Structure 1
Amino acid sequence: MWTQRLIELTGWKPLGITVDWAETEGELGVALPADYKELCEAFGGGVFGDSVSFLGRAEDRAFDLPTQWRVFLSVDRDSTFGDVSAVDPYAIYAPGGKGLVPWGSTEWADAYYWLIDAERPGDRPVLARAEDGAWHRYDMSTSEFLYRVLADADFSPFGIARYGLGTTFDPGSGDPADRRPR
């Protein structure tokens, strides 16, 4: 339902991407939200409203969730600066544990994650960190959260509709061909 609303909001023609979810989820050690998979298959990875980056499954490594998760995990485990985490008071999710998996961000340094606990595989709330560092928990689907960010000016502090940036989607790599309506 929310994925369809995003498709209508953006005027996007779904790509129908085929993804090997077993491989992706096998690496993560946990199932990803069903609506997130729908979003990936429809959009791939890219940028909504010229400012909201969405990590999907994409050939463009900058918008590929597993690639970015690996980077976040390696940085989070880097002991160069001690036990400091970029997502304090949380940690980046490691298979079998509890932590955050990044799936989106904005040009203003807002960051979107799922809180994943391997012992509670069906519970994946959205945790969003605002540019001021404050954490906000949303017990809603990824696609509903993303829709509200794009369309609800009152979705504080994350709604971008109040800035009049539009609701376009630009694929990360341009491949397959840009399918935005002209």
Structure 2
Amino acid sequence: MTGLNDLTRICPPPDQATAIHWDRIEADLGMPLPQDYKELADRYGPGTFNDYLRFFHPHGVTHYVTLTGPAPGRIRAQLRKDYDQDTHPVPYEPDTLFACGATDNGEYLFWITDPATEPDLWHIAVNEARGPGWFTYEGNATAFLVAVLGRQPQVPLFPPSFAEGPAYFTPSRPPLWKPPPFSDAQPVDTGAVRSWARANGYDVPSRGRIPPEIREAWERTTSGE
């Protein structure tokens, strides 16, 4: 809890904590989640830090900011395309990157999910919004927030004004309009399938075609059959 204690000291959380059924969330995702992130999401709920940076939350108010929504899969699919076609440099194997947050400027935050079965060892990577830059923080999500809100380090992809003045958190409010739903015809997030397969004892290659029996088992699990 040390990281969370440090964060609440410099950035007061809402008065009321959020109740989250983490077993269901991890089952939906097909992978475990870092303990620090669970504590962070429980204590702060959905919202933004300094009206700029947010971590996706299981109770996000739209699909675009929900941890279990389609956004992480869509983002990883685009990274896979960039990686395979060498469109933009991606410093990590895309299947190890899980989008866990974003900024109002369009940067994405990722967990580097390596090793896949030890989420408390995952680090944070940030992808530049409209460019090829990447920034890696060798610590967890809560430690990252403590560091960047205190400008230690200062993330070069973020505007200098991001951490000026006292840190504050703004809880999300339901939107007055409903955003259009994601298309159902989105590519399957192969990284999620591989993570689920490894967590359930399947021998799955890190790249290339996923064996059909693994894909079918994953589809049966995620569809609730």
| TM-score interval, smaller chain | 0.7 to 0.9
1:156 aligns with 2:159: no
- Secondary structure in 2 aligned to 1:31? coil
- How many residues of Structure 1 are paired with residues of Structure 2 in the alignment? 168
Map Cα deviations across residues 57-86 of structure 1 (whole Å, 9 max, x no partner): 215124321113244356667x8x995588
CA shift at 1:125, angstroms?
A: 1.5
Return the letter of the residue paired with 1:64.
T
Q: Which of the two has greater strand per residue?
A: 1
CA shift at 1:107, angstroms?
A: 2.5
What is aligned with 1:138? Answer: 137
Map Cα deviations across residues 125-150 of structure 1 (whole Å, 9 max, x no partner): 21122344222222211101012121
CA shift at 1:90, angstroms?
A: 4.6
CA shift at 1:41, angstroms?
A: 0.2
- Secondary structure in 2 aligned to 1:66? coil
CA distance in 1, matches of 2:13, 2:150: 15
What is aligned with 1:69? Answer: 72
1:121 aligns with 2:133: no
What is aligned with 2:184? Answer: none
Return the letter of the residue paired with 2:61.
D
What is aligned with 1:169? Answer: 169
Correspondence 1:1-182 to 2 at 5 A:
1-61=2-62, 62-67=64-69, 68-73=71-76, 83-84=84-85, 88=90, 90=92, 98-117=95-114, 119-122=116-119, 123-131=121-129, 132-152=131-151, 154-157=153-156, 162-163=161-162, 164=164, 166-173=166-173
Structure 1 unaligned blocks of 5 or more: 93-97, 175-182
CA distance in 1, matches of 2:24, 2:98: 16
The two structures, once aligned, show a CA RMSD in angstroms of 3.2
CA shift at 1:119, angstroms?
A: 4.7
Return the letter of the residue paired with 1:157.
P
State the 4+ residue runs in structure 1 displaced beyond 6 angstroms.
none
CA distance in 2, matches of 1:169, 1:114: 21
Structure 2 unaligned blocks of 5 or more: 175-225
- Secondary structure in 1 aligned to 2:96? strand
Map Cα deviations across residues 85-119 of structure 1 (whole Å, 9 max, x no partner): 88845565xxxxx4211122222333211011465
CA distance in 2, matches of 1:113, 1:4: 23
Quick one: percent identity of the two aligned structures? 22
Q: Is the 8 A contact 1:99 1:117 kept in 2?
A: yes
Q: Please report the TM-score for the alignment, with normalisation by the length of structure 1.
A: 0.73
